[in-house]
Amino acid sequence: MTDHRTNSAAGPPSAFGSDLHLELRGSGLRAGLTHALREAVRTGRLAPGTRLPASRSLAADLGVSRNTVTEAYAELVAEGRLTARQGSGTRVADRPGQPRGAAPAASRATPARPLPRPRPRYGLQPGAPNLADFPRTQWLAAARRALTAAPHDALGYGDARGRVELRTALADYLARARGVYAEPERVVVCSGFHHGLMLMARALRARRVPAVAVEAYGLDIYRDLLTDAGLRTPPLAVDEHGVRTDDLARLRGVGAVLMTPAHQYPTGVALRPDRRTAAVDWARAGGGLILEDDYDGEFRYDRQPVGALQGLDPERVVYFGSASKSLAPGVRLGWMVLPEDLVPEIVAAKGYGDYMSSALEQLTLAEFITSGGYDRHVRSMRLRYRRRRDELVAALARRAPDVHVTGMAAGLQAVLELPPGTERSTVEAAARHGLAISGLTEFRYETADPGGQLPERDALVVNYAAPSQSAWAGALDALCEVLP
């Protein structure tokens, strides 16, 4: 989350913050806020690509409810003036959409496709794998084999846990590749981590859990999902050994903790063994649950893979994985491996049926895994991403030797530590060079450090995996150009 309010005296002034100037007009607060934001975008006062403050911050600044802000944002997103994407918050669209209210008859006759928007030339923001390397041919071949072999009733309404072919394939794969204790009966298919966490939040609320602890660095969309479900989200500090699970016992009313033990997102460290143990001990002592987001567990470069925490105690750890990093987010398939007693509660949270995930896609992924295509793809991408990472490290050593790189033993991104106070100006300089990039501050939980005890940490989170082969050299060059 971008929250520059705490350092506005020292750092560069924020586009928003306590010095926000938005004239609220119109009948209601929401209409007024929407109008003011729309005008700010239309007139260019808020430039394309500008990240807007978190809804909570802006609501506090303006003295309005958070709903008012989220609804105003939503309206402008729908109008195409703002964008809201995973990992990059709400931003001003590169090219704001056409104003609405055009004559319906005209827009009916020529269905308005959104105009292609000019984008930054290069993008290194975290979130997606290399989409150009999606194995289209192999995926289509698996789809053909799967659909040809499927019984007719596979196309009907499905088991709430997902297709048994996929649950069986995943149970085998996860046990082998990630050390997960998995049986098909405790695997539940979902539409990605977002959906899995939503189901989990519902189940936790049904258990009357009041709070889920989260890492002080992470994605705001997941914190928001939990708070929208009525759960408090007290933060746990993150340092160079991962999340401080030893602090769990000090938090009140926490029934679960959401964490990324194999590769903290986005700082990139693996959780130190004693902290893994501390988390499991905490869960056992108080009946808590560990929600393990193993978003990129397949991609490990320098050492033995860090096995899933779930293997330590399958009745206290919920394992989440997905195809979003290993294949592509657009596949929209994820999986949970659940403690046995949670299965019925998640089935209930799903509404006792599989109303979300395509049976065809589930069968295709099952076939892709069992035929060995998934392993081959992951191995191939691991080599490519490792090469990319090595190229990044080599280029930085040559052209920006003072920049310290961390969090690069695994995954799709690295963290480039910057001199204090230079993160924001670096991100802005990159934007002027046509390079879209994320500062670490974007991922900082705004309420994690109300007292300001934690040291500020200026850094960039660089996704070296995503650029296509043709864009990579240019992106790397632009990055080196703008580093302080």
Contacts of 408 (CB under 8 A, 6+ apart): 268, 301, 389, 392, 393, 414, 415
Looking at the Cβ atoms of 224 and 375, the one nearer to a copy of itself is 224
Q: Where are the alpha helices (DSSP H) in 6-100?
A: 29-42, 55-62, 66-78
Amino acid 98 reads Q
Looking at the Cβ atoms of 354 and 458, the one nearer to a copy of itself is 354
How far, in Å, CA of 95 to CA of 417, rounded? 32
Sign of the torsion formed by the C-alpha atoms of 55, 59, 64 and 65: positive
Between the CA of residue 244 and those of 247, 250, 257, 448, what are the distances in Å?
A: 6, 11, 11, 13
Looking at the Cβ atoms of 242 and 411, the one nearer to a copy of itself is 411
Shortest spacing between CB 131 and a copy of itself, in angstroms: 4
Looking at the Cβ atoms of 85 and 250, the one nearer to a copy of itself is 85
Shortest spacing between CB 92 and a copy of itself, in angstroms: 15
Helix axes 136-149, 359-370, angle to 10 degrees: 110
How far, in Å, CA of 253 to CA of 258, rounded? 14
Task: Take residue 468 and report the two structure tokens written for it.
Answer: 């296509």
Looking at the Cβ atoms of 146 and 396, the one nearer to a copy of itself is 146
Shortest spacing between CB 358 and a copy of itself, in angstroms: 5
Looking at the Cβ atoms of 349 and 396, the one nearer to a copy of itself is 349
Shortest spacing between CB 475 and a copy of itself, in angstroms: 15
Shortest spacing between CB 180 and a copy of itself, in angstroms: 11
Shortest spacing between CB 285 and a copy of itself, in angstroms: 21
Shortest spacing between CB 368 and a copy of itself, in angstroms: 12
Q: Helix or strand or coil: residue 188?
A: strand
Looking at the Cβ atoms of 169 and 396, the one nearer to a copy of itself is 169
Amino acid 37 reads L
Question: What is the DSSP secondary structure assignment for residue 162, as one 8-state letter?
Answer: -
Neighbour count for residue 123 (Cβ, 10 Å):
19
